């Protein structure tokens, strides 16, 4: 039977790592004191991992832990590329050793992040360039019909009936009456707009912000364009 | 080539069968060979309205299943010899029809008749889809009220996407708007949508406006299509519809409430 009350899951967190360059506790205390004095609130109860990679083998682990806790850090454990024996010793002393192949991983992450950024830039470029193209629908869109312009603007030459739905990742233009539902900027595009010759819609939505008919009273049955102004839907008369 | 006309609406009770009967008979009276098909399998109303319910031996489903020939199932109208009725089965349901066999029956009928008028069941399910699938033209029957107009709009979407013509990419089905149970007086009082309102919403060409009339109920009960009641408003309006279907241009009538003159007031005309 599964344990309903608890569940183990892996998560990644950003932890502060304190790199030690000396074993002289007095020096460490001095430098730590200076650092913490600059921003005491910031460091208060911050979980911290101590990296012992750059110091010689015979470390007084207990003393380091106590020193760290003196400054109100929350001690998590030790890290660093050290020998197996050393890790074993750390464990035996009752401290946790946090595993990280530091240099490699950080490089990998950097590379992966760079790739991600490039990919995002690429897709954004595609999406943006596509947003300048139009899907044109000639004729009325009837009740029960749905037209979606993926990564495009939607131009309807005709009316959108009550009970019909027009969706675009870009803008929506209706050369006729808009009586159904219109959803512009469907993938999240706060500059998307909705234009129609006669606003009698059941619902209009831009980037997730929506209005039902009752919010459209001001420009009901008028030629209107609808846009977002500081994440607030706004309608303006076209003529 | 026969013109296959479906009389459809989406919503029930708006006057599809009344209109099918009146238009079918009207076309036949003008000398055309007409067959009326009842697609409302399971309910069977058309033969009642046509007054031939006692002459049904075989039905549409029998023909589809090869249990009877077309000639055995077709009922010749007693008033007009060029009109036949293919009645629906009352013991089966709408799934008894399949596209292929319906197509075959329509093809056979098309060789004999000038007009095939298909009386569609209500709804947007298989039965209604079957009735409109092979249509060349559609008479969308609508009452001047919001829900009926909405359902007609839905059916118009189906006509444009689910018909044989749509599937094969042929010229789309020719759509006609038939407004029934129209009461100019109630329109004036703002209780009913006007012709203009409905035309604006559906934006398809208007074929006719049938005024709300006592004559329709009387005709239905008597099994005499209302078009035979040439004195009634509804009968005259259906006659106009038939003439328009045959290509004539006729002004629309019965669109404004009649002002009662002093004599009709006095004598209750």
A134-143 pLDDT, tens digit each = 999 999 999 9
Which residues from chain A sit within 8 angstroms of residue B151, using beta carbons? 143
**Together in a domain, A152 and A88:** no
| Coil/strand/helix, residue B128 | helix
Residue predicted with more confidence, B260 or A135? A135
Q: Mean per-residue pLDDT for A121-149?
A: 79
**Together in a domain, A166 and A94:** no
Is A172 a domain residue? yes
Is A208 a domain residue? yes
Where does the pLDDT of residue A194 fall: very low under 50, low under 70, confident under 90, or very high at 90 and above? Answer: very high
Count of domains forming chain A: 2
Q: What are phi and psi of B130, to 5 degrees?
A: -65, -40
Tens of pLDDT, residues A13-52: 778 888 888 878 888 888 888 888 887 777 788 888 888 8
**Together in a domain, A233 and A134:** yes
Looking at residue A121, what is its pLDDT? Answer: 62
Q: Mean per-residue pLDDT for A181-198?
A: 94
**Together in a domain, A134 and A80:** no
Q: State whether residue B195 sits within 8 Å of chain A by CB.
A: no
Looking at residue A6, what is its pLDDT? Answer: 84
State the residue range of the domain holding A139: 128-237
Tens of pLDDT, residues B107-157: 999 999 999 999 999 999 999 999 999 999 999 999 999 999 999 999 999
**Together in a domain, A165 and A82:** no
Looking at residue A21, what is its pLDDT? Answer: 83
**Together in a domain, A63 and A137:** no
Where does the pLDDT of residue A2 fall: very low under 50, low under 70, confident under 90, or very high at 90 and above? Answer: low
Q: What is the nearest CA distance from A223 to chain B, expressed in angstroms?
A: 16
Do residues B37 and B86 touch, judged by C-beta distance below 8 A?
Answer: yes
Exposed e or buried b per residue across B11-48, where buried means at least 16 C-beta atoms within 10 angstroms of its C-beta: beebbbbbbbbbbbbbbbbbebbbbbbbbbbbbbbbbb
Looking at residue A42, what is its pLDDT? Answer: 78
The domain that holds A168 is classified in CATH as 2.160.20.70
Which residues from chain B sit within 8 angstroms of residue A147, using beta carbons? none
Looking at residue A16, what is its pLDDT? Answer: 83
Q: Mean per-residue pLDDT for A66-89?
A: 82
**Together in a domain, A97 and A172:** no
Looking at residue B269, what is its pLDDT? Answer: 44
| Closest to A170 measured CA to CA, from A125, A145, A133 | A133
Place of tokens 């004095």: A37
Kindly determine whether residue A143 and residue B203, on different chains, have CB atoms separated by under 8 Å: no
| Among A141, A143, A200, A202, the residue to mutate for chain B (most B Cβ within 10 A) | A143
Q: State whether residue B166 sits within 8 Å of chain A by CB.
A: no
Where does the pLDDT of residue A110 fall: very low under 50, low under 70, confident under 90, or very high at 90 and above? Answer: low
Looking at residue A20, what is its pLDDT? Answer: 84
Q: Mean per-residue pLDDT for A211-221?
A: 94
Is A141 a domain residue? yes
**Together in a domain, A108 and A137:** no
Looking at residue B9, what is its pLDDT? Answer: 96
Is A183 a domain residue? yes
pLDDT greater than 60 at residue A61: yes
Choosing from A79, A113, A147, the residue where a domain stops is A113
Residue predicted with more confidence, A84 or A205? A205
Q: How many helices (H) and strands (E) does chain B have?
A: 13, 8
- For chain B, give the percent of residues with pLDDT over 90: 89
Looking at residue B16, what is its pLDDT? Answer: 97
The domain that holds A107 is classified in CATH as 3.30.70.260
Tens of pLDDT, residues B67-103: 999 999 999 999 999 999 999 988 877 678 899 999 9
Tens of pLDDT, residues B170-223: 999 999 999 999 999 999 999 999 999 999 999 999 999 999 999 999 999 999
Q: Mean per-residue pLDDT for A88-101?
A: 79
Q: Is the ipTM of this complex over 0.85?
A: no
Is A119 a domain residue? no
B229 vs B220: CA distance, rounded Å: 11
Is A105 a domain residue? yes
Which residues from chain B sit within 8 angstroms of residue A164, using beta carbons? 157
Looking at residue B240, what is its pLDDT? Answer: 97
Q: Mean per-residue pLDDT for A193-220?
A: 95
| Among B153, B172, B193, the residue to mutate for chain A (most A Cβ within 10 A) | B153
Question: In chain B, which residue's Cα lies nearest the Cα of A200?
Answer: B201
Choosing from A113, A142, A158, the residue where a domain stops is A113
Q: Would you tell me which residues 95-124 of chain A have a C-beta closer than 8 angstroms to some C-beta of chain B?
A: none
**Together in a domain, A99 and A152:** no
Residue predicted with more confidence, A80 or B17? B17
**Together in a domain, A99 and A134:** no
Tokens of B181: 């149970």
Choosing from A89, A113, A137, the residue where a domain stops is A113
Looking at residue A136, what is its pLDDT? Answer: 96
Do residues B11 and B147 touch, judged by C-beta distance below 8 A?
Answer: yes
Q: Mean per-residue pLDDT for A184-199?
A: 94
**Together in a domain, A27 and A82:** yes
Is A122 a domain residue? no
Tokens of A194: 């909705």
Is A201 a domain residue? yes
Please, is B168 exposed, middle or buried when counting C-beta atoms within 10 Å of its C-beta (0-12, 13-18, 19+)?
exposed
**Sheet strands side by side (includes A47-51):** A16-19, A47-51, A74-79
Sequential DSSP letters for A4-35: SS----------EEEE-----HHHHHHHHHHH
């Amino acid at each position: 039977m599964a344990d309903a009350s608890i569940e183990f899951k892996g998560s990644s967190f950003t932890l502060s790592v304190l790199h030690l360059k000396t074993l002289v506790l007095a020096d460490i205390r001095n430098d730590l004191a200076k650092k913490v004095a600059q921003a005491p609130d910031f460091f208060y109860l911050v979980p911290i991992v101590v990296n012992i990679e750059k110091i010689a083998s015979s470390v007084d682990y207990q003393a380091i832990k106590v020193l760290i806790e003196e400054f109100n850090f929350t001690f998590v454990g030790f890290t660093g590329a050290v020998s197996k024996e050393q890790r074993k010793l750390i464990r035996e002393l009752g401290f946790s050793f946090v595993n990280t192949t530091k240099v490699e991983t950080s490089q990998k992450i950097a590379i992966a992040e760079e790739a991600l950024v490039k990919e995002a830039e690429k897709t954004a470029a595609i999406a943006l360039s596509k947003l300048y193209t139009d899907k044109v629908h000639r004729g009325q869109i009837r009740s029960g019909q749905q037209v979606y312009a993926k990564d495009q603007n939607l131009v309807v030459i005709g009316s959108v009936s009550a009970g019909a739905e027009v969706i675009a990742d870009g803008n929506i233009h209706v050369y006729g009456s808009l009586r159904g539902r219109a959803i512009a900027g469907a993938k999240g595009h706060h500059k998307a707009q909705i234009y129609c010759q006669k606003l009698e819609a059941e619902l209009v939505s831009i980037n997730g912000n929506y209005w039902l008919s009752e919010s459209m009273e001001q420009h009901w049955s008028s030629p209107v364009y609808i846009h977002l102004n500081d994440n607030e839907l706004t309608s303006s008369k076209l003529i | 080539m026969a013109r296959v006309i479906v009389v459809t609406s989406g919503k029930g009770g708006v006057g599809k069968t009344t209109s099918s009967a009146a238009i079918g008979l009207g076309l036949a009276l003008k000398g055309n060979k007409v067959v009326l098909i009842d697609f409302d399998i399971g309910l069977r109303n058309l033969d009642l309205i046509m007054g031939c319910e006692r002459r049904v031996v075989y039905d549409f489903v029998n023909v589809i299943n090869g249990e009877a020939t077309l000639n055995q199932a077709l009922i010749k109208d007693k008033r007009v010899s060029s009109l036949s009725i293919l009645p629906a089965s009352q013991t089966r349901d709408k799934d008894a029809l399949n596209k292929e066999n319906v197509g075959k029956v329509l093809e056979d009928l098309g060789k004999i008749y000038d007009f095939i008028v298909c009386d569609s069941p209500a709804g947007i399910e298989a039965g209604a889809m079957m009735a409109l699938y092979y249509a060349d033209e559609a008479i969308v029957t609508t009452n001047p009220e919001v829900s009926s107009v909405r359902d007609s709009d839905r059916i118009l979407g189906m006509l444009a996407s689910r018909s044989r013509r749509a599937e094969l990419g042929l010229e789309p089905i020719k759509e006609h708007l038939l407004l029934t149970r129209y009461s100019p007086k109630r329109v004036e009082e703002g209780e009913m949508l006007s012709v203009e309102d409905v035309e604006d919403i559906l934006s398809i060409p208007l074929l006719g406006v049938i005024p709300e009339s006592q004559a329709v109920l009387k005709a239905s009960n008597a099994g005499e299509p209302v078009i035979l009641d040439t004195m009634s408003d509804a009968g005259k309006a259906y006659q106009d519809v038939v003439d328009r279907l045959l290509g004539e241009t006729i002004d629309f009538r019965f669109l404004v409430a009649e002002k009662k003159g002093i004599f009709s007031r006095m004598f209750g005309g």
